[in-house]
Amino acid sequence: MEIEMKIRGLMMDPVTQMPIVVLKETNSDTVLPIWVGVYEANAIALEIEKVNPPRPMTHDLLKNLLVGLETQVHKVVVTELKEDTFYAVIWLQRNGQIISIDSRPSDALALALRMDCPIFVDEEVLKNSKLVANMSDRVTSEELRKWLEGLNDEDLGRYKM
């Protein structure tokens, strides 16, 4: 089953200093942190903050291509968590045909923001991410999850580009 989520914000991991996209379930307080690269985080941040660069960035180009080809993005889904790596699929529709495209979650999320389409996470990914956090010897996983769940609006959005 797929759980609908929204991008709650971007932040820096206090331990690794890597950007984190924080997804939050629409009907509960469940959050899913996904660590992403700096460039991908910048692409997401630009769209969250509605910054229009003078020239199209990569995800803007993708949006322009899809719109020009009269292709809709129905949804993006974070489908899998394998060996601490998340996987995603972008679901497109063109001329009545459904097409699935393998993607990194960061790229899928950046495109979803630009195309204004829903974001889903497979229920098993949420369960596995909690299981991994509970089994992990790393102090940061469970503590970070609890910390993320307690964040307010002022805490999010402090991501520096």
Residue pair 92/74 in contact (Cβ under 8 Å)? The answer is yes
pLDDT of residue 129: 84
Ranges 6-15, 63-72, 146-155: which has the least confidence: 146-155
Question: Where in the chain are the domains?
Answer: 2-149
pLDDT of residue 149: 62
- Round the average pLDDT of the chain to a whole number and report it: 86
Residue pair 161/42 in contact (Cβ under 8 Å)? The answer is yes
Band of the pLDDT at 139, cuts 50, 70, 90?
very low
Kindly state the average pLDDT of the residues 63-81.
97
Residue 29 predicted with pLDDT over 70: yes
Q: Which of 78, 73, 64 is nearest to 32 (CA)?
A: 78
Residue 32 predicted with pLDDT over 60: yes
Residue 69 predicted with pLDDT over 70: yes
Asked if CATH classification 3.30.499.10 holds for the domain at 2-149, the reply, yes or no, is no
Quote the pTM value.
0.81
Amino acid identity at 145? R
Residue 161 predicted with pLDDT over 70: no
